[in-house]
Amino acid sequence: MNLPYELQVGWRYLRAGKGGRRNAFISFISGVSMVGIALGVAALIVVLSVMNGFQREVRDAMLSAIAHIEISRHDHAPAQDWQALAELARRDARVAGAAPFVGSQALLARGEAMRGVMVRGVDPQLEPQVTPMAATAPGLAQLAPRSWQVLVGQELARQLGLSVGDAITLLAPGGSVTPAGLMPRSRTFTVAGIFAAGHYEYDAGLVLMHLDDAAVFFKTGGASGVQLRLHDLHRARALADTLQPQLGYDWRIADWTRANPTWFAAVQVEKRMMGIILTLIVAVAAFNLVSTLVMVVTDKQSDIAILRTLGATPRSIQGIFMLQGAFAGVIGTLAGVLLGLLLAFNVDVIVPAIEGLLGVRFLPANIYLINQMPSDPQQGDIVPIAVVSLLLALLATLYPSWRASRVQPAQALRYE
């Protein structure tokens, strides 16, 4: 197969390492440029994959302990007919399960230690339909009306030294008016089980009890509302927008994306900024091609002059050096994508090995909510990275190739 001579000459110039020290040096600089592009692309893929994985792991751990949608009244009045509310929601094909809840904050005391906790009253039969954690939570089936038993997270249990069968005291907001003044409402509960949500915030601050016990303890008069689980978590906001007109604006419908909006927004900003910063690494490596191609043009002036005398047009000469830079960009980008994917898919092996070697912990669970380095390479990140890398490499060829097309054969061959 006969390729256009621009391709042949451009490829030969890229890999030429023989013919003296100058050619070897130019070839070395060209190789360094390709390696730089590859490392920049690989770094971008690994960092964005880890950030995607971090967001996914925290999201999945969070959604194992909370529902996709929570429906309650704005005035905090009880949802007296929560069964009808749940039935209305179940008519939508997007809903996988519904369950009532009572939600409130409280103080948990054991001895002299006290912790602020989020208490959720649940129906042990229906709760596994909306929170996967409940399906595996030990002791959930033991929760019964007037049993005054609770489930606590494993981190909360560790901090307070709790075990199954221990007694704790919960203090509800507000209080009871007595002749002696306002007295806080408190009651002693027994720990029936210790669950692991996998999310530090809930393992350290969530307490579950039976729905009826919570309604009596917090004096809500019944369920606060209904929680929903969807088949597709990404359709939660659309369903919330659909249900709002049906239920009326006396009801508050909060989907999971609004549960921690600041955190999710912060992750997106960090991901965007890291992408911009690491793209500069690729840009530096790509523009190393400028110096490489300028040296090649300077070294190959006699070759350019000969090609011009043989009938090559300035456009053809420009194409030769643009193709040389494009070859370097393609090779560097492909190598970077392969290296980045190799690292991204093996982060769970590489990071523990580095942690063991250095004796450090990169992800303390009490800070980063998870304790393992996750990775989630996504096509939506990898394709733009490769395209941007190729565009930067192509832009880097414009000036050197234009300069090559301006070489005058007579002047270039004058001293040959």
- pLDDT-based confidence at residue 189 (cuts at 50, 70, 90): very high
Question: Residue 165 has which token pair?
Answer: 């069968």
Helix axes 301-309, 314-344, angle to 10 degrees: 130
Predicted pLDDT at 118: 92
pLDDT of residue 233: 86
Amino acid found at 287: F
Closest C-alpha among 190, 200, 207, 249 to residue 101: 207
Q: What is the DSSP letter of 196?
A: -
Sign of CA dihedral 149, 153, 156, 157: positive
Determine what percent of the chain is predicted with pLDDT higher than 70: 82
Assess whether pLDDT exceeds 90 at residue 308. Answer: no
The answer to whether residue 416 scores a pLDDT higher than 60 is no
User: Residue 156 has what pLDDT?
Assistant: 92
35, 332 Cβ separation under 8 angstroms: yes
Residue 320 · residue 10 · CB < 8 Å:
yes
Q: Quick one: which of 192, 250, 337 has its CA closest to 76?
A: 250
* Pairing verdict, β 113-122 and 167-171: unpaired
Closest CA to 121 of 53, 44, 220: 220
User: Which pLDDT value is given to residue 2?
Assistant: 43
pLDDT at 187 over 80: yes
Comparing 307 with 351, the larger pLDDT belongs to: 351
The number of residues in the chain equals 416
Q: What ranges do the domains of the chain cover?
A: 5-61+263-412, 67-258
- Residue 247 has a pLDDT of 84
Does residue 13 register a pLDDT over 90?
no
C-alpha angle 264/268/272, rounded to 5°?
A: 170
pLDDT tens sequence across 108-133: 998 888 888 999 999 999 999 999 88
CB 241: neighbour CB atoms within 10 A? 11
More confident residue, 82 or 314: 82
Angle, helices 314-344/5-15, rounded to nearest 10 degrees: 60
Q: Which of 333-337, 366-370, 384-388 has the lowest mean pLDDT?
A: 366-370
**Residue-level pLDDT at 319:** 75
Residues 6+ apart with CB under 8 A from 391: none
Please provide the DSSP assignment of 97-136 as one string. Answer: EEEEEEEEEEEEEETTEEEEEEEEEE-TTTGGGT-HHHHH
Confidence of residue 3 (pLDDT cuts 50, 70, 90): very low
At residue 24, the pLDDT reads: 64
Range among 53-67, 170-184, 351-365 with highest mean pLDDT value: 53-67
The rounded distance, in Å, linking the Cα atoms of 30 and 355 is 35
pLDDT of residue 367: 55
In the predicted structure, residue 365 carries a pLDDT above the cut 70: no
- With cut-offs at 50, 70 and 90, classify the pLDDT of residue 175: low
- For residue 394 the two structure tokens come to 């192509």
Query: Does the model's pTM come out above 0.85?
Result: no
pLDDT, residue 266, reads 74
